Amino acid sequence: MKELFNNIIDYNLIENYSFEKLKQSLILPIRLDGVYLNIFSCNDSQVENLDTKYLIKNFYLKKEFILFFLDDIENRIRLYNLSILCIKKSEINSKYIEEFINKILFKAITLRSSDIHIESLENSIVIRYRIDGILKLFYIFKKSFITVISSYLKMISNLDITQNRLPLDSSFSYYIEKVKYDFRISTMPTIYGESIVLRVLHSNKVKKDLKTLGFSSDMFSKVEKILRLNQGLVLISGPTGSGKSTTLYSIIQMLNTQHKKIITIEDPVEYKIPQVQQVNIQDEIGLSFDKVLKNILRQDPDIILIGEIRDSYSLQIALQASLTGHIVFASIHANNSIETVFRLIDLKADKYLLSSTLKYIISQRLILNLCKYCKGKGCSRCNFTFYSGRSCIAEVLNIDNNISSMILKGSALNEINEYLKQINFKTMLDDGILKVEENITTLDEVYKVL
């Protein structure tokens, strides 16, 4: 099987064919050089239809078939019409670039995409969408088109349109069908040209509360207990892309009342929460992470959110704040709850402070849900991936008196694990298997993320 991005599509070629016949036959002509007609096909394609007068005018040409997977062909054919409309208008007159960008952004919103990747390759550019954590290729255009796209996106982001040799980042807002969406843009020079990534921020507002994050009922009941804390440190752990930030935002949103002063330290602020005092780190003007942490307690907060425990200093401030009557929430990179404890010790945490202040650790991953429309068979609604949407599998470790004592005396990992077995601690794997039994996901998906 070949890779789709190795083939540049001639979007004018479709005018020579019956599009309905192409869809029925699972055949996609992509390039015509006067002698050869290059055609996308798969094992299920009805290639004999190429010899009918309803399908192709130039049936005397030599045909060269390029084999792909069925879902790639179906997805490419479904998006073919949109690609034609976009690229033909964009190449004819640059004033249509706004309409083109609007279509690209609108597609991201309708697909629930978190990121749009516009990438320069050796002979082409590709546009990929990250949907439910997985990148999916949607469009392939001529290499020269990157200049038009880049210039327009930089213009609406107030960036220097002539600068393409250094990384740039900014943000912009865009109205799609009268709804405002915010996007964060990052550009990066590569050996073949610019790579542009747009993060979809969905109007900069938190859309999810804890009840919609996909926690199982057992895990959700444990998380609810966290909301009743008066002081202490609560950590959300997991690798990049495991949903830590979303969980943190959702917890803060639940705690956000007129009786609480909440301050967050973020790099950067992605979602705005009414009434919450959110600090956006800006190292270029001296508003550093360390400087904000040093002064945050003078703001008389009740609740503090630290975007990430990144070093010994940020951990020390978090422990001191949680010891003096504050609730501190933070994220940290670690594989599971117990490893989180030892990660804190590696960061030179004072064992007395840690045992006194650490209250809960939530470790989590995001798993793909089986598509509810096709039940995992593959359809247009799930882009033939069998999955649609994501849920959270988690473990919630309550730092009880026994675990606190073990931390204080420096117990080994196996000693803490033995205690967790005695109290029947439910791990992320246990939570994942429960979701398999409930037909929410598959065992392969659980093992993949864990």
Helix (H, G, I), strand (E, B) or coil at 276: coil
Q: How many CB atoms lie within 10 A of CB 365?
A: 24
Helix (H, G, I), strand (E, B) or coil at 282: strand
Contact 167, 153 (CB under 8 A): no
Residue type, 278: Q
Whether 35 has a pLDDT exceeding 90, the answer reads no
Task: List pLDDT tens digits, range 291-334.
Answer: 898 899 899 999 999 999 989 989 998 998 999 889 999 999 99
In the prediction, which pLDDT does 100 show? 84
Q: Which residue reads 């002979």 in tokens?
A: 123
What torsion do the CA atoms of 389, 395, 398, 404 make, to the nearest 10 degrees? -130
Of residues 57 and 394, the one with the higher pLDDT is 394
Whether 175 has a pLDDT exceeding 80, the answer reads yes
**Strands 113-120 vs 124-131: parallel, antiparallel or unpaired:** antiparallel
Task: Give the span between the Cα atoms of 65 and 1, in whole angstroms.
Answer: 11
Whether 52 has a pLDDT exceeding 50, the answer reads no
| DSSP structure string for 20-74 | HHHHHHT-EEEEE-SSEEEEEE-TT--GGGGGSTTTBS-TTSEEEEEE--HHHHH
Strand partners, 134: 131
Task: Give the span between the Cα atoms of 257 and 238, in whole angstroms.
Answer: 28
Helix (H, G, I), strand (E, B) or coil at 124: strand
Domain spans of the chain? 1-71, 79-204, 210-449
Percent residues over pLDDT 70 in the chain: 85
Q: Is 243 left (phi over 0), alpha (psi -120 to 50) or beta?
A: left
Task: Give the span between the Cα atoms of 299 and 296, in whole angstroms.
Answer: 6
Nearest to 134 by CA among 450, 449, 437, 363: 449
362 confidence band (pLDDT: 50, 70, 90): very high
In the prediction, which pLDDT does 200 show? 92
Task: List pLDDT tens digits, range 137-165.
Answer: 888 888 888 998 999 999 999 999 999 99
43 confidence band (pLDDT: 50, 70, 90): confident
Whether 135 has a pLDDT exceeding 80, the answer reads yes
> Could you check whether 79-204 and 210-449 share the same CATH topology?
no
CATH class assigned to 210-449: alpha beta
Sequence-ordered alpha helix ranges (H) in 284-386: 289-295, 312-323, 337-346, 351-357
Exposed/middle/buried for 260, CB within 10 Å: 0-12, 13-18, 19+? middle
Radius of gyration of the chain (CA): 26
Pick the CATH number of 79-204 from 3.20.20.60, 2.60.40.10, 3.30.450.90, 3.30.420.40: 3.30.450.90
